[in-house]
Amino acid sequence: MARQVPLGVLVSGSGTNLQSIIDNCRSHRIDAEIRVVVSDNRDAYALKRAESAGIPTAIHLRKDYTSRRDFESAFINSLTSHGVELVCLAGFMRIISPDFLKVFSNRIINIHPALLPSFPGLHAQEQAFHYGVKVSGCTVHFVDAGTDTGPIILQATVPVLEHDTAESLKARILEQEHQIYPRAIQLYAEGRLEIQGRHVVVK
């Protein structure tokens, strides 16, 4: 049996990418197991998705901690206590600090709904649509101390159609997110990702 990579997933919202990872783990399309889902939002629907799948959850609210360091320490403790190796951000709406990154060096990945380095940050699909691009897409990348600036693992392109709205483009990008995020996790599980400066080499 292939090695099952222990995953921790950080969420803030609806959790459709979390659901994609859950489904791919269940169907054995990726050699991974979600050990815990952690959120900074007690109302995140992603938590219900995790509970329905029988996955442990943890909630840490920023207002409950006197400092960012203590707040992030709670996240780190939730991840390490469940034996997490790879941390997946799935709609997690906070910047990861250098201290957090040190604990999981080159073991935190994120999905972004644009073709980085274009349109980093929030509302990337709307940014791309209103800018008038002809091609958009999504990116899986390793997380560094910047905002969506880490080395790129995989990208998928999505053409912008004449009849598109910002919402229809967002929906088609999301379909591709659900394809490439599990694929990137599987590449990690197979030990095929090597970071060389700004480049991620798939071995």
What percent of the chain is modeled with pLDDT above 90? 99
**pLDDT for the residue 201:** 98
Q: What is the CATH T-level fold of the domain 111-203, as seen in this structure?
A: Rossmann fold (3.40.50)
Structural contact between residues 108 and 142, judged by C-beta atoms closer than 8 angstroms: yes
Region 90-104: mean pLDDT is: 96
Per-residue model confidence as pLDDT tens digits over 70-88: 999 999 999 999 999 999 9
Per-residue model confidence as pLDDT tens digits over 13-44: 999 999 999 999 999 999 999 999 999 999 99
Query: 85: buried, middle or exposed (CB in 10 Å: 19+, 13-18, 0-12)?
Result: middle
Is residue 112 among the annotated active site residues? yes
Q: Any idea which residue has 């889902």 for tokens?
A: 37
Per DSSP, the three-state class of 39 is strand
**pLDDT for the residue 127:** 97
Structural contact between residues 16 and 178, judged by C-beta atoms closer than 8 angstroms: yes
pTM attached to this predicted model:
0.96
Q: Where in the chain is the domain with CATH 3.40.50.170?
A: 1-105, 111-203
**pLDDT for the residue 3:** 80
Check 28, 60, 82, 112 and give the catalytic one: 112
Structural contact between residues 155 and 113, judged by C-beta atoms closer than 8 angstroms: no
pLDDT for 1 beyond 70: no
Which two tokens mark 161? Answer: 């159609």
C-beta atoms surrounding 43 within 10 Å: 10
Per-residue model confidence as pLDDT tens digits over 153-202: 999 999 999 999 999 999 999 999 999 999 999 999 999 999 999 999 99
Cα 174 to Cα 95, 135, 145, 188: the distances in Å are 21, 14, 25, 21
**pLDDT for the residue 2:** 61
Alpha-carbon dihedral sign for residues 145, 151, 154, 158: positive
**Phi and psi torsions of 83, nearest 5°:** 70, 30
Structural contact between residues 153 and 112, judged by C-beta atoms closer than 8 angstroms: no
Which two tokens mark 75? Answer: 């996240």
CATH architecture for residues 1-105:
3-Layer(aba) Sandwich (3.40)
